[in-house]
Amino acid sequence: MAELRIHQERLDEDGIRQLIDICPFGAISCRDGKVEIDSGCRMCRLCVKKGPGGAVEYMETQEPGINKDEWRAVAVYVEYNGKAVHPVTFELIGKARELAAVTGHPVYALFMGYQVGEKAEELLAYGVDQVFVYDRKELEHFSVLTYTNVFADFITRIRPSSILVGATNAGRSLAPRVAARFRTGLTADCTVLEMKENTDLVQIRPAFGGNIMAQIVTPKNRPQFCTVRYKIFSAPPVTKEPSGTIRTMEVTEDMIDRRIRVEEIIHKPKEIDISEAEVIVAVGRGVKSQADLELIRELAAALDAQLACTRPLIECGWFDARRQIGLSGRTVKPKLIITIGISGSVQFAAGMRGAECIIAINTDRKAPVFDIANIGLVGDWYEILPRLLKTVKEGT
* Sheet with 212-216, edge to edge strand ranges: 192-195, 201-207, 212-216
Would the annotation count 181 as a binding residue?
no
Would the annotation count 311 as a binding residue?
yes
In single-letter form, the type of residue at position 44 comes to C
Write out the DSSP string of 19-88: HHHH-TT--EEEETTEEEE-TT-----HHHHHSSTTTEEEEE-PPP---GGG---EEEEPPB-SS-B-HH
Would the annotation count 243 as a binding residue?
no
Query: How many other CB atoms sit within 10 Å of the CB of residue 314?
Result: 18
Would the annotation count 363 as a binding residue?
no
Would the annotation count 314 as a binding residue?
no
Is residue 269 reached through a cis peptide bond, with omega within 30 degrees of 0 on the bond before it? no
Listed residue (76, 201, 199, 200) closest to 130, CA to CA: 76
Would the annotation count 326 as a binding residue?
yes
Would the annotation count 244 as a binding residue?
no
Report the C-alpha gap between 80 and 83 in whole angstroms: 7
User: In degrees, to the nearest 5, what angle opens at C-alpha 288 toward C-alphas 285 and 294?
Assistant: 105
Report the C-alpha gap between 168 and 142 in whole angstroms: 13
Between helix 381-394 and helix 293-302 the angle, nearest 10°, is: 30
Per the annotation, where are the binding residues for FAD?
285, 310-311, 324-328, 362
Where is the binding site, in residues? 285, 310-311, 324-328, 362
